Amino acid sequence: MNRAVASGVPDAHLPPRLAELIRPELPSLAEEIVAEIRRAIPEYARPLDGPYGHVLRLGVERNLAVFAERIAAPGGPPSGDDSAGTARMLGQYEAHEGRSMDSLQAAYRIGGQVAWRRVMKVAPRHDISSAVLSRLADALLTYMDELAAQSLDGYLHAKARPILALDERRRRLLRLLLAAADPDGADPTAAVELESAADGAGWSLPDRVTLVAVEPAAHCVWTALDEDVLAELECPEPHLLLPGPFTPERRAMLEEALPGRRIAVGLAMPAGQATDSLRWARRALGLALDGVLDGPVTLCEENLVTLWLLSDPALVEQLTRRRLGVLDGMTPGQQDRLTETLRTWLVTRGTAAEIAERLHIHPQTVRYRMRKIEQILGDALADPEARFGIEIALRAAHLRSRRPASAPHRPVVRPRGPARPRSLRHLR
């Protein structure tokens, strides 16, 4: 079949130069279409920074760009043509919202009308013939019909396929699995009840599971979730259970199912320790939302030390008071300078020159600070247990001081010297 016909462009090709006239209009045209759709259809008058607003805007922008690309190259494959996938996703949203296709079909009609008004406004400036305008109108109508058909396909698919994560049997199964893994919630009949619940939900109990904590109030594209995922999202602390380890494929699935939402992934654990995986994931998510950890997807396995150091803030505070309380008489600025220098030395075991390079100060300043530190802390730095406590306190304080706009976290440099640390006196 001719690509031009199959892709919604009539057999009589439009002049490719039309694409060059259309492209500069696309950004403002997309804004106008979105605004008109939201004004005319109450169901779409939601905040644009929400998941549905994002999909609506993205769909309009992509569809316009693909239409221009098809005019520019009617005989070849358009670059980045994912308009069909976007249209199907819009249809899936309608099914999940419990609506008919009427609103989305109306949105397509409004989009076509607004686009054609813009064409009629721009055409006189470029002396476009009536014959070309007629073919352009046919192409636009055909393209809109194609998108509507793709959306209907997504809608029917979503209606026909059970949303397993919303099935009460699967939610109950997830709760039972977490309760069975919780020593405080387990009972002698838990294993039998769990097996029965798994059979009723059509789900096989895996040897290992990975729990995922999800940012509250997250919108989920349910059909994007793998069928073996258990989900409890309509609660104050949303979470998911993935059978087996966390893989790149699972990551891509979650990014599609939870667009724009932060998640934290616990460790893959035996099913009997699912609550541990979830507890760590929730702690990691809290640190991510506080700005201590970066990125939309936080992996516990990459942040084990951070999770441990910040797992009990009150205890770390007591440790800090006991190991570094002697610095309380200094000004905050003096404390910051000395503790950053000491932390850098403990992490790197570097020379004065190496530490100075990392801190962007003069080596003599490092030597002065380290002499001051040695005077204040005395024998504590020679005592392995005391020194370890000091390093824990300093690392925890450094992590707590991080903010979302801070510089990327620097990797820990392991000591290059012997196991026994060198004396501070080598810095002089």
Q: State the DSSP string of 85-145.
A: HHHHHHHHHHHHTT--SHHHHHHHHHHHHHHHHHHHHHGGGGT--HHHHHHHHHHHHHHHH
Report whether 279 contacts 289 (CB < 8 A).
no
Distance CA 293, CA 290 (A): 8
**What class, spelled out in words, does domain 313-402 have in CATH?**
mainly alpha
Q: What is the pLDDT of residue 419?
A: 36
Is there a common fold for 16-160 and 206-309? no
Report whether 50 contacts 219 (CB < 8 A).
yes
Q: What is the pLDDT of residue 106?
A: 92
- Residue 131 CB: number of other CB atoms within 10 A? 9
The alpha carbon torsion through 177, 180, 181, 187 (nearest 10 deg) reads: 180
Report whether 35 contacts 105 (CB < 8 A).
no
Indicate the pLDDT class of residue 406, thresholds 50, 70 and 90: very low
Indicate the pLDDT class of residue 116, thresholds 50, 70 and 90: very high
Mean pLDDT of the chain: 80
CATH of 206-309, one of 3.40.1350, 2.40.128, 3.40.50, 3.30.70: 3.30.70
Q: Is the pTM of this model over 0.75?
A: no
pLDDT of 10 > 60? The answer is no
Average pLDDT over residues 363-376: 84
Q: What is the largest CA-CA distance in the chain?
A: 92
The pairing of strands 208-214 and 269-270 is antiparallel
What tokens appear for 304 in the block?
């084990």
Quick: pLDDT tens for 294-307.
889 999 999 888 88
CA-wise closest residue to 356 among 371, 343, 367, 372? 367
The alpha carbon torsion through 360, 364, 369, 371 (nearest 10 deg) reads: 150
Comparison of pLDDT for 23 and 2, the residue scoring more: 23
pLDDT of 410 > 70? The answer is no
pLDDT of 398 > 50? The answer is yes
Report whether 222 contacts 165 (CB < 8 A).
yes
In the 8-state DSSP scheme, what is residue 15? P
Q: What are the residues facing 230 on neighbouring strands?
A: 241
Q: Among 370-374, 385-389, 402-406, where is mean pLDDT lowest?
A: 402-406
Average pLDDT over residues 361-383: 83
Quick: pLDDT tens for 202-239.
888 999 999 999 998 777 877 788 889 999 888 889 99
pLDDT of 139 > 60? The answer is yes
Sorted by where each begins, the domain ranges of the chain are: 16-160, 206-309, 313-402
Sign of CA dihedral 139, 141, 143, 145: negative
How would you classify residue 291: left for phi > 0, otherwise alpha for psi between -120 and 50, otherwise beta?
left
Q: What is the pLDDT of residue 391?
A: 79
pLDDT of 277 > 70? The answer is yes
CATH topology of domain 16-160: Globin-like (1.10.490)
Indicate the pLDDT class of residue 251, thresholds 50, 70 and 90: very high
Share of residues in the chain with pLDDT > 90 (%): 26
How buried is residue 329: exposed, middle or buried, by Cβ count under 10 Å (0-12/13-18/19+)?
exposed
Indicate the pLDDT class of residue 91, thresholds 50, 70 and 90: confident
Comparison of pLDDT for 53 and 237, the residue scoring more: 237
How buried is residue 271: exposed, middle or buried, by Cβ count under 10 Å (0-12/13-18/19+)?
middle
Distance CA 207, CA 381 (A): 46
Distance CA 53, CA 46 (A): 7
SS3 for 283? helix
Q: What is the pLDDT of residue 49?
A: 59
**C-alpha neighbours within 13 Å on the C-beta side of residue 253:** 16
